[in-house]
Chain A
Amino acid sequence: KAGVTQTPRYLIKTRGQQVTLSCSPISGHRSVSWYQQTPGQGLQFLFEYFSETQRNKGNFPGRFSGRQFSNSRSEMNVSTLELGDSALYLCASSLGRGAFNYGYTFGSGTRLTVV
């Protein structure tokens, strides 16, 4: 059974550029959440998608956006990149909202470096 797949694994971008990260959840999982991990702020919730709809959003500026496709794959986009956006971006999939399962399974993340 394939896990959560995030692509790309590493990215280097310049300030002002935009970036799109991809997440393919575990087959059958319908909920995808995104988290940002930095040494200073830890793991912070970005947003959650379920059935192609954003269900919740964390305290991040509008430069951070996302979407989910009918096959549950999700993408997140960050526009007008800032140095502070450098982080590990993690995607987690779960069976569904409110489901008790074997946790929310995380991918290996995309390491974004903004220079």
Chain B
Amino acid sequence: GESVGLHLPTLSVQEGDNSIINCAYSNSASDYFIWYKQESGKGPQFIIDIRSNMDKRQGQRVTVLLNKTVKHLSLQIAATQPGDSAVYFCAERRVDSSYKLIFGSGTRLLVRP
């Protein structure tokens, strides 16, 4: 679904550990996926993207994995830092005429010092 309520799923990790945030998307025809990070009072900030013809993409400290068979997307953050604490959203882009982004419900990442 697309709802993000006050009861966001929360992932709590120790500083320095790796984090894995998961997302299930809904449309097998989506061609493009993006992970965003949103800090309090700010707009979503681009982290990493991946096209549907790829399975994996790496950035600086982040890796996105795409499993089209089960329509699953994950974001891995290596050596998680306190500054990584935020809400993370996955978004899928539909290939129909709309090209709009459909957002997942979000996961709150809390990094314990």
Question: Are both chains from one complex?
Answer: yes
B51 interface contact, C-beta 8 A? yes
Q: Does the CB pair A48–B98 fall under 8 Å?
A: yes
Q: Does the CB pair A48–B43 fall under 8 Å?
A: no
Q: Does the CB pair A100–B100 fall under 8 Å?
A: no
B88 interface contact, C-beta 8 A? no
Instruction: Report B-chain residues with C-beta under 8 Å of the C-beta of A58.
Output: 100
* Number of residues of chain A lying within 8 A (CB) of chain B: 30
A70 interface contact, C-beta 8 A? no
B25 interface contact, C-beta 8 A? no
Within the complex, the shortest CB–CB distance from B31 to chain A, in Å, comes to 9
Q: Which bucket holds chain B's interface residue count?
A: 20 to 34
Q: Which of B6, B42, B89, B100 has the most CB of A within 10 A?
A: B100
Q: Does the CB pair A33–B3 fall under 8 Å?
A: no
Q: Does the CB pair A100–B3 fall under 8 Å?
A: no
Instruction: Report B-chain residues with C-beta under 8 Å of the C-beta of A39.
Output: 4-6
One of A11-19, A72-80, A103-111 contacting the partner: A103-111
Q: Does the CB pair B98–A103 fall under 8 Å?
A: no
A37 to B91, CA, bound (A): 14
- Tell me which of A56, A103, A107 contacts B36 (CB under 8 A): A103
B residues with a Cβ closer than 8 A to A are 2-6, 32, 34, 36, 41-46, 49, 51, 89, 91, 97-103, 105-106
